[in-house]
Amino acid sequence: MTASVDLAAFAEDLRVEVNQRLSAEPEMMVGDMFVRVVAERLIADGSLEDIDVCYLRQQGRPALEVSGYNISSDGTILDLVTRETEKSGGTISKARVTALFRRATAFAEACHEGLHKLKEESAPVYDMAQRIHAEWTELRKIRVFLLTDGRATRDRIEDSTVVGLPVSYQVWDIARLHRLASSGQAQEEIVINLEDMGHSIPVLESPEQSDGYRCLLAVIPGQLLADLYEQHHGRILQRNVRAYLQARGKVNRDIHATIRDHPGRFLAYNNGISATATDVGTYTREGTVILQRLHDLQIVNGGQTTASLHHASTNHSLNGVYVMAKITVVPKDTLKDLVPRISRYANSQNAIRPADFEANGQFHIGLEQVSRTAWAPAQGNSSRETRWYYERVRGQYQVERSRQPTAARRRRFEAECPPQQRFSKTDAAKYEMAYLMRPHTVSLGAEKCFQEWTIECKLEEKDSPSVAYFRHLVAKGILFQGIRTRVLRLRLGGYPGQTAAYVMALVVERLGGDLNLDLVWRLQQVPEQLDAVVPHVTQVVREVIINPPGSANVTEWCKKEDCWNRVRRVDWSPPADLLMIGRSTG
């Protein structure tokens, strides 16, 4: 009984969060917002690398339906997302699950056959289908995710193939999402049984150290690392400090060359990997300790080695390729403190700047603290001041709301911290980078934009921000969201986020790189002078961004600095009344 009550409460909290997010972006469909909210959890979990929410439903034989997609950073994996919403914990039949997966795989096959040719070129659906078609020859695997607030009676689907590519299926129903949310850790635990994978790994084991951890040293087959990456992809690199650079960098080219020409020398040439685990299973055989099982394996240094081995295995045999490995077994209660330090101090093959590490330091903690004490001016005839709630950790807002002991206290919390005034780390990155005239960075997507903001602004080196900084950050958010809302009202079609980023960047650029952010903070809205020019600026911006050179993909075009350089050359000058608010006073 308690489990079903907890599940019902979780489903209700999820519904409330989706509706709260819709209040800030009312133009989105409920299903699309559900996909975005759930996908954020899976991205944090490492099950998804990223997601572009884009809904298509097409009747016919076969029927097509998909809610979003992503192509992995190394170009080898296509992730497709489909959805079943508004079930509120109700049952989803096996037949319905099968049908949704069948429609998604039919969509993939249609993309391979040229579905984009039948779509309007200015529509996001065209971009999605065209990019999948263009990248198909590099793909090695398709993963299809069903996201639902219902309870699926079928959670295991046999793998299949689409146009020769292997396809795997994952059901993320309300029960599994609840387990993820209540597990007390960032991601579902990965348990790897090495002997089931055909490997018997001898190890040297250290005594337990004063902090409760111990280390294992091993020489492991390169094929094992490639297989682990194939199965778990980014999840085993969640705590790694850098993204895989494919074979473009010199180090990765050397890795490929060694595998190709001198596989037996790989162990000598390569620095190996550093990994962590929360638990291991070992046994002794003829006096030798054998590693049998790994819990929550994370490669904290050596991600490029791992991904390069996987990439190379598509063209070369990994027979004779071995890698040194140090595996630190870290108790769960010290995981968050110890693992980042292991990442920082582990030997590296490519130079790492301090800001390459996950930004969870003093800057973000300080920003959170300021947000809990800074009150925004009351608006209109109201005498009630409100706060802008910085959600440093995903789900903080909903947790704090749920902790209010009575319905009256929950209403008071929502009045003081309105849902539409909640913003996350990735939102903050988007506002900052748009204001810094980097709309092409904003167009990379939430996660990549956040990484670029961390590096560009050296957040790891910054102390706690001031109240003035927080007010200006919120003002940038007000500008971005206000411009985006105005763009949507023009009903010009897709790409509202990219359009808003480019419009904001162009306005800031034409005002000399600054706006009176103190004025925006006081008004708590876009100044009339700026709001009045948005329709015209939108028209001139969209003329550039939806007409990429050579009929390229619009979404990919918006990610390029060349697109921003083209926008900067458009013929538009701010009117005099807008120029008057073109300077901050603080």
User: Do 251 and 149 belong to one domain?
Assistant: no
Work out the average pLDDT over 457-478: 90
Percent of the chain with pLDDT over 70: 89
Number of H helices, E strands in the chain: 23, 18
User: How many beta carbons lie within 10 A of that of residue 6, not counting itself?
Assistant: 12
- Is the residue at 586 inside a domain? no
pLDDT at residue 586, as a whole number: 40
What is the rounded CA–CA span in Å between residue 192 and residue 377?
Answer: 54
585: in domain: no
Domain that holds residue 542: 362-579
At which residue do the structure tokens 């699926």 appear? 152
CB 332 within 8 A of CB 278: yes
Is 377 found in the same domain as 515?
yes
Same domain, 59 and 198: no
What pLDDT, on a 0 to 100 scale, did the predictor assign at position 245?
Answer: 37
Q: What is the mean pLDDT of residues 288-312?
A: 86
Distance CA 586, CA 577 (A): 20
Q: pLDDT band for position 535 (50/70/90)?
A: very high
Listed in order, strand segments (DSSP E) in 394-506 are: 422-424
H or E stretch at 218 = strand 214-221
Task: Using DSSP, state whether 141 is helix, strand or coil.
Answer: strand
* Cα Rg of the chain, angstroms: 25
User: In this structure, is residue 289 part of a structural domain?
Assistant: yes
pLDDT of residue 355: 35
> Taking residues 97-114, what's their average pLDDT?
96
Which of the pair, 38 or 402, is modelled with greater confidence? 38
Do 81 and 230 reside in the same domain of the chain? no
Q: What is the DSSP string of 205-243?
A: EPPPPTTS-EEEEEEEEHHHHHHHHHHHGGGGGTT-SS-
In which band, very low, low, confident or very high, does the pLDDT at 376 lie, cut at 50, 70 and 90?
very high
Token pair of 19, please?
Answer: 């509706």
The predicted structure's pLDDT at residue 63: 95
Q: Do 174 and 198 fall within a single domain?
A: no
**Residue 444 domain-assigned?**
yes
On whether residue 45 sits in a domain, the answer given is yes
Is pLDDT of 20 > 70? yes
pLDDT band of 234, cuts 50, 70, 90: low
Query: Do 342 and 478 fall within a single domain?
Result: no
Pairing of strands 214-221, 165-172: unpaired
Q: What is the pLDDT of residues 469-491, one digit of tens each?
A: 999 999 999 999 999 999 999 98
Question: 114, 149, 182 — which closes off a domain?
Answer: 182
Of 35-49, 188-202, 244-258, 399-413, the poorest mean pLDDT is in 244-258
Judge whether 540 lies within some domain.
Answer: yes
Q: Are 367 and 348 within one domain?
A: no
Q: What is the mean pLDDT of residues 86-114?
A: 93
The pLDDT value recorded for residue 44 is 75
Q: Is residue 142 part of a domain?
A: yes
Which of the four pLDDT bands, split at 50, 70 and 90, describes residue 403?
confident
Residue 296 backbone zone (phi > 0: left; psi -120 to 50: alpha; other: beta): left
What average pLDDT does the chain have? 86
Look at residue 334 in the predicted model and tell me its pLDDT: 65
Q: What is the mean pLDDT of residues 223-229?
A: 90
Is residue 370's pLDDT more than 80?
yes
- Per-residue pLDDT of 167-201, as tens digits, reads 999 999 999 998 888 754 445 678 899 988 989 89
Q: State how many domains the chain has.
A: 3
My answer on whether 171 and 239 are in the same domain is no
Domain final position from 144, 164, 182: 182
38/60 same-domain check:
yes
Note whether residue 88 is domain-resident. yes
**How confident is the model over 559-584, as pLDDT tens digits?**
999 999 999 999 999 999 898 876 65
User: Among 352, 387, 407, where does a domain finish?
Assistant: 352
Q: How far apart are CA 508 and CA 237, in angstroms?
A: 37
Predicted pLDDT at 422: 93
Same-domain pairing of 457 and 324:
no
Kindly report which listed range (396-405, 434-443, 518-527, 566-575) carries the lowest average pLDDT score. 396-405
Peptide bond into 62 cis (omega under 30): yes
Q: What is the pLDDT of residues 52-61, one digit of tens each?
A: 999 999 999 9
Same-domain pairing of 178 and 199: no
pLDDT on residue 160? 93
Q: Quick one: 367 and 336 in the same domain?
A: no
pLDDT, position 383 = 75
